[in-house]
Amino acid sequence: MILPGVSFADADASIEDAEFVLLGIPFDRTASFRPGARYAPNAIREASYNFETCLFEHGVDLRDIRVHDAGNLEEFATVDDMVLSAGMEIGSIVSAGRFPIIMGGEHSVTIPAVRSFEDIGVISIDAHLDFRDQYLGQRCSHACVTRRVADHLGLENVAVLGVRSISPEEMEIEGPFVIDAFSILDEGIESAVKRAMEHIGKERIYLTLDIDGIDPAFAPATGTPEPFGLSAMDVKRCIDLLGTRLVGFDVVEVSPGYDSGNTAILAARLIREVMAVVWKNERRRP
Ligand code: MN
Ligand code: MN
């Protein structure tokens, strides 16, 4: 069941006409430190009205892009129920050839999103590795997302950028390709994204943005904030560099109660960045 509500700004296309489909998954039941990501989809929608429709640096007016806001999925009692139901919704968006943009909710919503694709790579921006095999008895916990994504696509097709927190158990096993936040500061985001794409080797990329990958100075409203993160501009550059290769996007772990709106505004702006960049590149294709 999909619940109606206020729509994302300029998302006035029907599902049949849409190039992009937004879906909110207000699920945060495996949150371990401080919950509240369930409030993010609607907070991000409200924040989306903050902006002009033009992104002048791309030469794009978002009113020209056909976007449908499918609303929010209902609440789920368990993460496994969420994964099953979200998988059906997202699968139908992807199989119809539309570009899914998922608003979490916690990071576990990425699991059904990525399972809707085959033969892609995933770049995850995250302070955390999320590579535990299970966490508090849950295999689809927010702390296990990278692991489940690797199960589906192969470890070699996953890269995590901006990491600065790894658990002892994650240190002991072979993990995904990582470029930590300290290395990105040294080498620059352009070099890091280029190396991640070379490592993955798949043409098509799904980008998952755990908002805690960004420094708490820019994005304080999140469940497990971690200092020394990427800048908001780094993430904008990352989206621009991925460009034509993006096939899907999510932004997760925004927990709007912990700031005065800045984090939801940033999430809304980065969603608009993805729409503008992907649409512009589609238009330029011969
Ligand atoms: Mn994280
Ligand atoms: Mn995460």
What ligand is nearest to the CA atom of residue 124?
Answer: 2
Ligand 1 centroid from CA 135, angstroms: 14
pLDDT tens for each residue of 156-183: 999 999 999 999 999 999 999 999 999 9
Taking CA atoms, 50 is separated from 8, 10, 45, 185, 268, in Å, by 11, 12, 10, 30, 9
Q: What is the mean pLDDT of the chain?
A: 95
Ligand 1 centroid from CA 212, angstroms: 5
Residues of the domain holding 77: 2-284
Ligand 2 centroid from CA 223, angstroms: 10
pLDDT tens for each residue of 52-96: 999 999 999 999 999 999 999 999 999 999 999 999 999 999 999
Would the pLDDT of 35 be above 90? no
End-to-end CA distance of the chain: give it in Å, rounded. 39
CA dist., res. 251 & res. 113, Å (int): 12
User: What's the CATH code of the domain at 236?
Assistant: 3.40.800.10
Using DSSP's 3-state secondary structure scheme, residue 202 falls into coil
User: Domain tally for the chain?
Assistant: 1
The tokens describing 139, both together, are 């295999």
The tokens describing 129, both together, are 């590795």
Ligand 2 centroid from CA 130, angstroms: 6
Would the pLDDT of 151 be above 70? yes
CA dist., res. 176 & res. 20, Å (int): 29
Would the pLDDT of 284 be above 70? no
pLDDT category of residue 2 using cuts at 50, 70 and 90: low
190-211: average pLDDT? 97
Ligand 2 centroid from CA 136, angstroms: 15
CA dist., res. 9 & res. 17, Å (int): 17
> Residue 128: how many CB atoms within 10 A of its CB?
26
Ligand 2 centroid from CA 16, angstroms: 32
Would the pLDDT of 4 be above 70? no
Residue with tokens 């658990």: 167
Write out the DSSP string of 54-91. EETTTTEEGGGS-EEEEEEE---SSHHHHHHHHHHHHH
pLDDT category of residue 34 using cuts at 50, 70 and 90: confident
Taking CA atoms, 47 is separated from 205, 215, 230, 258, in Å, by 27, 20, 22, 15
Phi-psi region of 220 (alpha: psi -120 to 50; beta: other; left: phi over 0): alpha
Ligand 1 centroid from CA 180, angstroms: 13
Ligand 2 centroid from CA 283, angstroms: 32
What ligand is nearest to the CA atom of residue 251?
Answer: 2
Taking CA atoms, 97 is separated from 18, 20, 227, 279, in Å, by 10, 9, 38, 14
Ligand 1 centroid from CA 213, angstroms: 6
For residue 6, what pLDDT is reported? Answer: 86
Write out the DSSP string of 230-284. B-HHHHHHHHHHHGGGEEEEEEE-B-GGGSSSHHHHHHHHHHHHHHHHHHHHHHH
For residue 240, what pLDDT is reported? Answer: 98
Q: Are residues 46 and 8 in contact, defined by beta-carbon separation less than 8 angstroms?
A: no
pLDDT category of residue 150 using cuts at 50, 70 and 90: very high
pLDDT tens for each residue of 226-237: 999 999 999 999
Ligand 2 centroid from CA 56, angstroms: 31
pTM of the complete model beyond 0.85: yes
Among 15-24, 29-38, 73-82, 184-193, the range scoring the smallest mean pLDDT is 29-38
Q: Are residues 120 and 205 in contact, defined by beta-carbon separation less than 8 angstroms?
A: yes
For residue 5, what pLDDT is reported? Answer: 65
36-61: average pLDDT? 96
Ligand 1 centroid from CA 56, angstroms: 31
Ligand 2 centroid from CA 142, angstroms: 6
Ligand 2 centroid from CA 272, angstroms: 21
pLDDT category of residue 30 using cuts at 50, 70 and 90: confident
